[in-house]
């Protein structure tokens, strides 16, 4: 189930919250820069696998459109000008490069099923796809894993490369109202109320998969965090603004290195 934000008065003074816009065109430019930065960070972490992987953000003016990376362009080279604006029919409304069919099939259905979702991220990261082969959900064995406790799902019906909308619908249905899903024999997908949040959930979920796989290799019994403690920890780590905020150090690093995506 989705984790709500705590009351804003609970945050320290001067906490940087996501900016608000009156002009959707200004917001669009901001979101495209954030999306570009997220791709550069995914590239830095080595989340690319050939032409696989995509992050999308809902357009603030046309809510049934989203921005996505072009098919076959390196995460490390993407600029705001390269992004494609796609409607829920699969038409490329803006942009000249090819569209990844799997990106459209998956993301269009998630954005349609979840009006609250602003951004979604999927990549064939090494530990995510390795963990997905186990056909199980993450265990609450670390503090960071608790962010996903009872807030992620397993989609255990792999049927090949996602090219059809029906497969995207089934993934969206499996995701439900949670922040993430493990796509069995495939990898991870995360969603958020901002590009920052969706990207952070993916990064920390990938690391959480890595941590559990390493712990399993010891052959020792895994010690799970008690349900009540895990739920309390999730309430402190797993809400949308926490995901947004935890992404900011990575955003700071990438925006210093790449002046063109500063916002």
Q: What is the tens place of the pLDDT at every residue in 36-78? A: 999 999 999 999 999 999 999 999 999 999 999 999 999 999 9
Instruction: Check residue 260 and give its pLDDT.
Output: 56
Q: What is the tens place of the pLDDT at every residue in 91-118? A: 999 999 999 999 999 999 999 999 999 9
Residues with Cβ within 8 Å of 45's Cβ and at least 6 positions away in sequence, in order, are 125, 203, 206
CB 197 within 8 A of CB 119: yes
- Token digits for 2? 């989705």
Distance CA 11, CA 244 (A): 13
Q: Whole-prediction pTM value?
A: 0.95
User: What is the CA angle 189-190-191, rounded to 5?
Assistant: 135
Instruction: Say if residue 132 is exposed, middle or buried (CB neighbours under 10 Å; 0-12, 13-18, 19+).
Output: buried
Q: What is the tens place of the pLDDT at every residue in 179-212? A: 999 999 999 999 999 999 999 999 999 999 999 9
Q: Residue 261 pLDDT > 60, yes or no?
A: no
- Token digits for 68? 């996505």
Average pLDDT, the chain: 94
């Amino acid at each position: 189930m989705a984790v709500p934000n705590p009351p804003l008065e609970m945050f320290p003074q001067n906490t940087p919250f996501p900016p608000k816009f009156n002009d959707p065109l200004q917001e669009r430019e901001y979101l495209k820069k954030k999306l570009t930065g997220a791709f550069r960070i995914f590239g830095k972490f080595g989340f690319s696998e050939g032409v696989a992987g995509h992050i999308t953000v809902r357009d603030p003016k046309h809510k049934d459109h989203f921005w996505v990376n072009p098919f076959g362009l390196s995460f490390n080279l993407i600029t705001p000008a390269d992004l494609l604006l796609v409607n829920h029919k699969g038409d490329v409304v803006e942009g000249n490069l090819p569209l990844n069919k799997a990106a459209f099939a998956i993301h269009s259905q998630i954005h349609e099923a979840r009006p609250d979702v602003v951004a979604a991220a999927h990549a064939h990261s090494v530990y995510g796809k390795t963990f997905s082969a186990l056909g199980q959900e993450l265990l609450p064995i670390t503090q960071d894993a608790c962010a996903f406790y009872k807030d992620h799902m397993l989609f255990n019906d792999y049927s090949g490369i996602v090219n059809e909308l029906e497969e995207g619908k089934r993934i969206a249905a499996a995701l439900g109202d949670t922040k993430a899903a493990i796509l069995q024999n495939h990898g991870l997908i995360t969603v958020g109320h901002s590009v920052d949040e969706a990207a952070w959930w993916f990064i920390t979920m990938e690391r959480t998969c890595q941590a559990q796989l390493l712990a399993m290799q010891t052959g020792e019994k895994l010690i799970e965090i008690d349900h009540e403690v895990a739920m309390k920890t999730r309430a402190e780590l797993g809400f949308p603004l926490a995901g947004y905020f935890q992404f900011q150090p990575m955003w700071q690093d990438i925006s210093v290195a790449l002046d063109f995506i500063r916002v």
